[in-house]
Chain A
């Protein structure tokens, strides 16, 4: 027993690091992650790691079309992250983004199918957008009311609402399936393009990206500079403080979740009307969950979320590319993504704490 010896190291909490040091640590983490990924790649597959990284980059930016898809995916992930963020700032763990987006998709698709030939396109688009926003708001509002009234667990509730949304979508897909028996809807209104968002600018994705960009700025302002944003922060930090200054906590919870759900619904509208023009049960594509990570990694700051969602989307696109061009299967790209995320999340520890080693103790 080495009772007489100091432990090899102990953990010391850091003072707040200047921003450049914090970002330096994060950059170092990404570099280390890339090195480790390179090692793994060479050891397991024998491929040249540099070549692998080039391929990852090409997967994201190889062609103009790929770049547009990358930015569109980024925008769609970002809008869902923007949607869940007000709830997260309030410490309301809304992990029902997936269902809220899907129910928005369903509402849009329903309008397209049932009203496609009855309304002028402009009116139809407005009705679709409104229906989607409303549907998303309702989907998030239900758990919020239960939370505000009876303090139910919002995490479980919003999670369960996802499954309800999926089943609802599955039900209507069977009703509207084209052709009968296929179990899918296919492209809605392919000939008339009723309810399709018109192409603006250089790409059919441009409008979606623009809308999300504007929304990002608005959300940043809403959260940081408005009275609502301040109330959200106070409720999130301490409900007792909120009551003490006369904030109606239940009302803030419901209001914020309606907003959160409404933006998810809008995301659903953009997916159906702006890009995919169809409805499947997996149309939300796991974004409701990935958005949680985007929001957390960015510390709930809408502007940082641009970077975090870029990172995640870029990795996913690149990983998909290496699995096709090197004939490696999807699991390998998951390994690489996992390694990189592990480093990014893990480096937060070194931003908040430092290890003080025995030999280095003299420096004080």
Chain B
């Protein structure tokens, strides 16, 4: 490390948001020809730190140098001028424009806009590193991984040689991840400095040369990846020893609980989202649902929860005594009135599961406020429930009157899951329950889900991390382009096989 000069040094960087100290005197060095993995739990300040490097935030204190010179980065433009480019977790692309148009968007080049020349340069960049981008393809026609590629090319096009990627693999299939990693290695060998923010330990070990760890906004340490291991890194992130195993108790007395038959769903635009999907979810069992993003998982869960109009097929709820009740054509309210206790942890926590601007107690009321005949809402029991959830799930919050938008991702999810399981459900639907959550929070959620399973709840768990799905699920339903690619037992399933099943049926349909 000594023989290289740092491309970027950050010294004593401090950033506060009101009373929250996001970064506290952080030191970080970034070198060329090296992939640095930036690790830390949610809310440990990784993204904030990188946002200061890319000009989105301005540090309260501290000093940044690029190539040995002290710099002041006031805006993303300053960052680009210094060759720093960031690929955000949420893509910032204009859907109706082509790849090339998005890439040149906002660039102030003299003379007329020459898209052909731009397309040529884009192709050169792609050839150099092994990207596959069609400059003339519209963004809305692209898969998630293609969109990400456009984001990366956009940054390279602007001449960036210090790249920051914020959780780039969160939305990719294993195959797409491999492709991305190959490209990143090419760029590293080309002498670029690369920083990748991630939660996934196996990716850190596979890809990075060096890891730097943040905890609660403080810099804990950095070391070459080869000299450490997942356990040690996790312990450093969390601050104490953690076990990295997910329990999978044997299902007890599983009985069919939800039966889905020949379900076909179209979106409002008439696009086929689910086609002829049939399966049974049993009590006391976790049914994992695997698939690349956008291949019908969302529609499937929302159809069961009564939120998604269905074209054909049937969904039936089976009581313990074997009697059946159709769920189709009912909205969430009438399902609840039937006496079916169905809990749903949706993907979009703050946009659907919770009300971001309301406090914890008011969010607890969402499901229960109708109770009683009074004109007025009952404020006492939601408060008690909120206190209870905060205590039991160890939610880190200043109090139950804090708006949930102020909480970090993991705590938001705890609040949501806490509310959903508080009604003693018989069916629990979860979509990407641990997306964006750090290790500690993730394991808390897995534990909660396992407890529900042991209590005899039929759990349908839509996940994106195949490793987790394989460890947690009793059975795995693999979706591909809206169709059932297969149902495999979770014990003994192979990651590669499931990965292949996720893409095999696809062919011409997988653009969705």
Residues of A within 8 A of B (CB): 3-7, 10, 12-16, 225-230, 233-234, 237-238, 240-241, 243-248, 356, 361, 364
Of listed A5, A228, A244, residue having the most chain B CB within 10 A: A244
Residues of B within 8 A of A (CB): 14, 16-20, 58, 60-61, 70-72, 74, 305-307, 331-336, 344, 346, 348, 351-358, 362, 365-367, 369-370, 375-377, 379
Indicate if the CB atoms of B72 and A3 lie closer than 8 Å: yes
Indicate if the CB atoms of B376 and A226 lie closer than 8 Å: yes
Known pairs A241-B355, A244-B344, A364-B60; A14 contacts B18 (CB<8 A): yes
Residue of B nearest to A234 (CB): B355
Indicate if the CB atoms of A241 and B72 lie closer than 8 Å: no
Indicate if the CB atoms of B17 and A13 lie closer than 8 Å: yes
CA distance A319 to B394 in the complex (A): 57
Indicate if the CB atoms of B74 and A7 lie closer than 8 Å: yes
CA distance A305 to B118 in the complex (A): 56
Listed A/B pairs (24) with beta-carbon separation below 8 Å: A6-B72, A7-B72, A15-B18, A15-B19, A15-B20, A16-B18, A225-B376, A226-B376, A226-B377, A229-B377, A237-B356, A237-B357, A241-B366, A243-B331, A244-B305, A244-B332, A245-B366, A245-B367, A246-B306, A246-B332, A246-B333, A248-B331, A356-B60, A364-B14
Residue of A nearest to B15 (CB): A12
CA distance A248 to B370 in the complex (A): 13
Indicate if the CB atoms of A12 and B352 lie closer than 8 Å: no
CA distance A10 to B58 in the complex (A): 7
Indicate if the CB atoms of A230 and B351 lie closer than 8 Å: no
CA distance A245 to B334 in the complex (A): 11
CA distance A326 to B17 in the complex (A): 50
CA distance A117 to B449 in the complex (A): 74
Indicate if the CB atoms of A240 and B333 lie closer than 8 Å: no
In-complex Cβ contact of B376 among A227, A244, A247, A364 (8 A): A227
- With a CB–CB cut-off of 8 A, which chain A residues contact B353? 241, 244
Indicate if the CB atoms of B352 and A240 lie closer than 8 Å: yes
- With a CB–CB cut-off of 8 A, which chain B residues contact A356? 60
Known pairs A227-B377, A230-B377, A241-B366; A4 contacts B18 (CB<8 A): no
Indicate if the CB atoms of B331 and A227 lie closer than 8 Å: no
- With a CB–CB cut-off of 8 A, which chain B residues contact A5? 72
Of listed A3, A230, A241, residue having the most chain B CB within 10 A: A241
CA distance A244 to B369 in the complex (A): 14
Indicate if the CB atoms of B377 and A240 lie closer than 8 Å: no
Indicate if the CB atoms of A3 and B71 lie closer than 8 Å: yes
- With a CB–CB cut-off of 8 A, which chain B residues contact A247? 333
- With a CB–CB cut-off of 8 A, which chain A residues contact B369? 227, 230
CA distance A16 to B402 in the complex (A): 11
Known pairs A3-B72, A227-B370, A246-B332; A13 contacts B377 (CB<8 A): no
Indicate if the CB atoms of B60 and A361 lie closer than 8 Å: yes
List 11 additional A-B contacts (Cβ < 8 Å) besides A237-B358, A247-B333: A7-B58, A15-B19, A227-B369, A228-B375, A229-B377, A233-B355, A240-B351, A240-B352, A241-B354, A248-B331, A361-B61
In-complex Cβ contact of B366 among A10, A234, A240, A248 (8 A): A234
Of listed A3, A230, A245, A356, residue having the most chain B CB within 10 A: A245
Q: Total A-B pairs in contact (CB under 8 Å)? A: 90
CA distance A234 to B367 in the complex (A): 12
CA distance A244 to B351 in the complex (A): 10
Indicate if the CB atoms of A238 and B58 lie closer than 8 Å: no
Residue of B nearest to A227 (CB): B377
CA distance A332 to B355 in the complex (A): 46
Q: How far is the CB of B464 from chain A (nearest CB, A)?
A: 21
Known pairs A16-B18, A237-B358, A246-B336; A230 contacts B365 (CB<8 A): yes
- With a CB–CB cut-off of 8 A, which chain A residues contact B362? 230, 233
CA distance A240 to B307 in the complex (A): 10
In-complex Cβ contact of B61 among A225, A227, A245, A364 (8 A): A364
CA distance A361 to B307 in the complex (A): 51
- With a CB–CB cut-off of 8 A, which chain A residues contact B357? 237
CA distance A233 to B18 in the complex (A): 26
Indicate if the CB atoms of A13 and B18 lie closer than 8 Å: yes
Q: How far is the CB of A239 from chain B (nearest CB, A)?
A: 10
CA distance A163 to B344 in the complex (A): 46
- With a CB–CB cut-off of 8 A, which chain A residues contact B335? 246
Known pairs A4-B70, A226-B375, A244-B307; A238 contacts B355 (CB<8 A): yes
- With a CB–CB cut-off of 8 A, which chain B residues contact A233? 355, 358, 362
Indicate if the CB atoms of B346 and A244 lie closer than 8 Å: yes
Q: How far is the CB of B21 from chain A (nearest CB, A)?
A: 10
Q: How far is the CB of A322 from chain B (nearest CB, A)?
A: 42
Of listed A5, A15, A228, residue having the most chain B CB within 10 A: A15
Indicate if the CB atoms of B352 and A238 lie closer than 8 Å: yes
CA distance A246 to B348 in the complex (A): 16
CA distance A226 to B375 in the complex (A): 6
Residue of A nearest to B81 (CB): A3
CA distance A24 to B61 in the complex (A): 29
Q: How far is the CB of B58 from chain A (nearest CB, A)?
A: 5
- With a CB–CB cut-off of 8 A, which chain B residues contact A361? 60-61
CA distance A115 to B391 in the complex (A): 66
CA distance A240 to B365 in the complex (A): 16
Of listed B20, B354, B362, B366, residue having the most chain A CB within 10 A: B366
CA distance A234 to B334 in the complex (A): 19
CA distance A14 to B375 in the complex (A): 37
CA distance A4 to B64 in the complex (A): 11
CA distance A230 to B379 in the complex (A): 11
Indicate if the CB atoms of A238 and B356 lie closer than 8 Å: yes
Known pairs A3-B72, A7-B72, A12-B60; A243 contacts B354 (CB<8 A): no
Q: How far is the CB of A236 from chain B (nearest CB, A)?
A: 9
Of listed B17, B331, B377, residue having the most chain A CB within 10 A: B377
- With a CB–CB cut-off of 8 A, which chain A residues contact B305? 244
CA distance A6 to B61 in the complex (A): 10
- With a CB–CB cut-off of 8 A, which chain A residues contact B379? 225
Q: How far is the CB of B54 from chain A (nearest CB, A)?
A: 16
- With a CB–CB cut-off of 8 A, which chain B residues contact A14? 18
Of listed A3, A10, A246, residue having the most chain B CB within 10 A: A246
Q: How far is the CB of B243 from chain A (nearest CB, A)?
A: 35
- With a CB–CB cut-off of 8 A, which chain B residues contact A226? 375-377
Q: How far is the CB of A256 from chain B (nearest CB, A)?
A: 15
CA distance A246 to B305 in the complex (A): 10
Q: How far is the CB of B329 from chain A (nearest CB, A)?
A: 14
Q: How far is the CB of B377 from chain A (nearest CB, A)?
A: 5
Indicate if the CB atoms of B60 and A237 lie closer than 8 Å: no
- With a CB–CB cut-off of 8 A, which chain A residues contact B60? 12, 356, 361, 364
Indicate if the CB atoms of B18 and A243 lie closer than 8 Å: no
Residue of A nearest to B374 (CB): A227
Q: How far is the CB of B422 from chain A (nearest CB, A)?
A: 14
- With a CB–CB cut-off of 8 A, which chain A residues contact B16? 12
Q: How far is the CB of A150 from chain B (nearest CB, A)?
A: 13
Q: How far is the CB of A349 from chain B (nearest CB, A)?
A: 15
In-complex Cβ contact of A246 among B58, B331, B351, B375 (8 A): B331
Q: How far is the CB of A18 from chain B (nearest CB, A)?
A: 12
CA distance A7 to B78 in the complex (A): 12
- With a CB–CB cut-off of 8 A, which chain A residues contact B344? 244
CA distance A174 to B342 in the complex (A): 62
In-complex Cβ contact of A227 among B72, B332, B375 (8 A): B375
Residue of B nearest to A244 (CB): B352
- With a CB–CB cut-off of 8 A, which chain B residues contact A10? 58, 74
